[in-house]
Structure 1
Amino acid sequence: MKLHDVIIIGGGQAGLSIAYFLRRSNLSYLILEKQAKAGGSWNHTWDSLKLFSPSNYSSLSGWPMPKSTNEYPTKSEFINYLSAYEKRYEFFIQKQTEVLKVEKENGLFKITTNIEIFYSKTLVSATGTAKNPFIPTYPESAKFNGVQIHSATYKNSTDFEGKKILIVGGGNSGAQILAEVSKVATTKWVTLKEPQFLPDTMDGRYLFNEATQKFLGKSEEKSSGDFSISLSNIVMVESVKEARSRNILNAVRPFEEFYEHGVIWKDGTREAFDAVLWCTGFRANLKHLESLGIIQNGKITTLHTRSVKEPSLWLVGYGNWTGFASATIYGVGKTARQTVKEITEVL
């Protein structure tokens, strides 16, 4: 039996960040990655996706991302960077290896995969959220005979040409996909509350810095003008600015329920749509950890990133409950550094 000090489940930005700090230690580690190529969940995002921070703010620890062709890096530029990052640091990573189940056996983690069984003293789960898209529950949704897809499976606007599309969700993905689809289709945008747009002069770097200061209690709620800073604020990348020039960025509040051909609004009005495109985010992908019996309401109770009930397990990159902004490219490094420090102290 080959025993590792640490096994990392997931080879995306969170898993690579953990490996970057682990390689400085004398601990043996291995990343198990389901996919055949670098890039993690970025490989499955929509074609025209743009990051909303410049390259130097879209970098992992130790090595800055090369300057992108345009101000904001494209999906393919970032995937290329992750691939180069893997090669640069020669991480120990086994690809095309899907973790099916994690159990405890004689004080060790027994990790069953589609290839073989692995054992480790400690475990870092860094599978992110991309495999667990969230769609809110609306009455009579099964009645709707149009198409419903989540942004997780959206690639481009080709299938929506000439149709009427309802886009639900007020974050950056909702705004960017709305901007694209509205060029070829009639669109309506639904958000829970009025979307918050950053000024044109601000982007993800300011968003993250301000949100961090607010999190640390060092910033006023409305420290950057007459709006509150949040990681859900929409950055005015080029495509979103272009949509604004067409007067597309007008959102309405949610509908009441579905009917066969569309949705029923709060005033009882019925409106037909060919498709509903859900840009409503994701939840933590923790299915592989179910056998440990520590998941409650879709989360695992942690102190920082360390599981309270299973203290040899750390969770990185799932959102603020696993480290502030740990699901962001720029924020995950801080979380990873602290996590590896804790693992090193334990071992």
Structure 2
Amino acid sequence: MTYATDPTHASYSRDQFATDSGLDRDLSSDDVITLAHMADSTASSTPRPVPSHEDRPVYVIGGGPGGLATAYALRAQGVRAVVLEKSDQVGASWRRHYDRLHLHTTRRLSGLPGLAMPRSFGRWVSRDNVVRYLEKYAEHHQLEIVTGVEVSRVEPAPGGDGWLLHATGGRELTGSAVVVATGHNHTPRLPEWPGRDSYTGELLHAGDYRNPAPYAGRDVLVVGVGNTGAEIAVDLVEGGASRVRLAVRTAPHIVRRSTAGWAAQFTGILVRRLPVRLVDALAGPMAKVSVPDLSAQGLPRPDTGLYSRVNEGSIPVQDVGLINAVRKGRVEVVAAVESFEEDKVVLADGRRIDPDVVIAATGYVRALEGIVGHLDVLDGRGRPVAHGARTPKKAPGLYFTGFTNPISGMFRELALDAEKIAKAVARTAQKAGKAAEKAASKAGAGTTAGAKTGARDTGDTRAAR
């Protein structure tokens, strides 16, 4: 199967969608629902019958890989799902990533439910091919996706049955359940460094970096040595930057992406359920064998265990050229950034440097507080207290996916979460349906008994006469 960059979608007006969905009171005349065509019906498993459109759908917030996978999995369970995406296309966050980016997980273990990634994508899938895949995924499975709609708040529906979503333009949507899939990398995080706002040099977040072309011949400081910072530093070196420095606060764990054909992801999957201390103990000796000591270049081995760091939210850096760049001095490791002074950057060791450009690879925040923060479903760091098939005790029917950073691979975990969530929603719906049938049966029995009693009373009266 070939993958087109711009798949054709059938667009349905608000009136057409309202007729089918019963949501005419919820959507304005400007809304458009896109229902993707089936690209290859022979390759897709036939979903179970979808319930009547009179039923309230499950709303999936976010049209990234987690949201799309969950929408398909729900549909496969016979549950109608509608994806709400604030941008005008699926996979918005992937479209914004830098050009060089490839998945750090293998193609075979990165496919979402119901559609494998094609072999032509290679073992390490590029950003552009990830975008093509997500477009094709929505098209292939005929997912219901509403674009240009941003959900600002989710709260229990009146009466406590289901959920009420407040969205763009004053819309109010009512769903039987809600899946929040807005993603781990939602809003760029730029630290409040002293003097930042008065800095006269060029400062940008890594989310705004695309390729090294604008920085050729320039002195660049990259702040942060996660996977993004490490890869951007290498990209700049290879793209002709005159000098590249990498500001590091905490030395990272570095792993080879693949060793003799064995992907780091495979190890991540194998150790996922092992005790943290055991994994930490095993990872140390393995790192000494596979990764050289870069202490002389300013990048010492970390003093905390690999899996302990993962549980703190910091996954290992997969080497895509950083080790060689640091060893050869092409990437210079410097101390962390402490503050800014006009055109200078002040480092933690007291040094003052004056790069032409500062690129802050300082991560993202989930930004869930406005949507669900009032529901007491987030921990002190803004993370959902439950994810996957589990829902918060105080918010049954509210699901989260894509807010962890698993060592076993994000796409793989999103695929697993999607099927678990779909099964949990389907079970809940079945229980609710059985309860409703039982209640209706009791009500019907009561009515029948009342009618019989009335008939006996009438007969007795006539006999007395």
TM-score, normalised to structure 2, is 0.66
Structure 1 contact 4–29 (Cα < 8 Å) conserved: no
Partner residue in 2 for 1:271: 353
d(CA) in 2 for partners of 1:203, 1:92 = 43
Q: Which has the larger radius of gyration?
A: 2
Structure 1 contact 110–118 (Cα < 8 Å) conserved: yes
d(CA) in 2 for partners of 1:172, 1:204 = 21
The structure 1 residue matched to 2:384, chosen from 281, 294, 300, is 300
Partner residue in 2 for 1:211: 268
Partner residue in 1 for 2:248: 191
Q: Secondary structure at the match of 1:187?
A: strand
**Paired amino acid for 1:184:** G
For 1:230-241, what aligned pairs fall within 5 Å after superposition?
A: 232-237=315-320, 240=322
The structure 1 residue matched to 2:176, chosen from 110, 121, 142, is 121
The structure 1 residue matched to 2:234, chosen from 179, 189, 201, is 179
RMSD: 2.8
Q: Secondary structure at the match of 2:165?
A: strand
Measure how far apart 1:7 and its partner are.
0.7
How many corresponding residue pairs? Answer: 343
Please, which moves more after superposition, 324-333 or 42-51?
A: 324-333
Matched, 1:94 2:178: no
Q: Higher RCO, 1 or 2 (CA under 8 Å, sep at least 6)?
A: 1
Q: Which runs of 5+ in 1 are unaligned?
A: none
d(CA) in 2 for partners of 1:202, 1:139 = 42
Matched, 1:142 2:197: yes
Partner residue in 1 for 2:428: 346
Q: Secondary structure at the match of 1:306?
A: coil
Structure 2 contact 107–122 (Cα < 8 Å) conserved: no
Distance verdict in 2 for CA 1:243–1:169, change over 3 Å: same
Give percent identity, aligned residues only.
Answer: 24
d(CA) in 1 for partners of 2:213, 2:207 = 16
Partner residue in 2 for 1:330: 412
d(CA) in 2 for partners of 1:189, 1:249 = 7
Q: Which runs of 5+ in 2 are unaligned?
A: 1-21, 24-54, 288-305, 430-465
Matched, 1:110 2:161: no
Structure 2 contact 107–121 (Cα < 8 Å) conserved: no
**Paired amino acid for 1:114:** T
d(CA) in 2 for partners of 1:114, 1:259 = 41
Measure how far apart 1:292 and its partner are.
4.1
Distance verdict in 2 for CA 1:194–1:143, change over 3 Å: same
Measure how far apart 1:277 and its partner are.
0.7
CA deviations over 1:55-112 (Å, ceiling 9, x no partner): 2132112322112455422111111111111111111222222223323231232212
Measure how far apart 1:119 and its partner are.
0.7
**Paired amino acid for 1:306:** T
Partner residue in 2 for 1:66: 118
**Paired amino acid for 1:110:** L
TM-score, normalised to structure 1, is 0.87
Partner residue in 2 for 1:84: 136
Q: Secondary structure at the match of 1:341?
A: helix
Q: Secondary structure at the match of 2:134?
A: helix
For 1:146-165, what aligned pairs fall within 5 Å after superposition?
A: 146-165=201-220
Higher helix share: 2
d(CA) in 1 for partners of 2:148, 2:87 = 5
Distance verdict in 2 for CA 1:46–1:82, change over 3 Å: same
Partner residue in 2 for 1:23: 75
Structure 1 contact 203–235 (Cα < 8 Å) conserved: no
Distance verdict in 2 for CA 1:111–1:65, change over 3 Å: same
Distance verdict in 2 for CA 1:28–1:325, change over 3 Å: farther
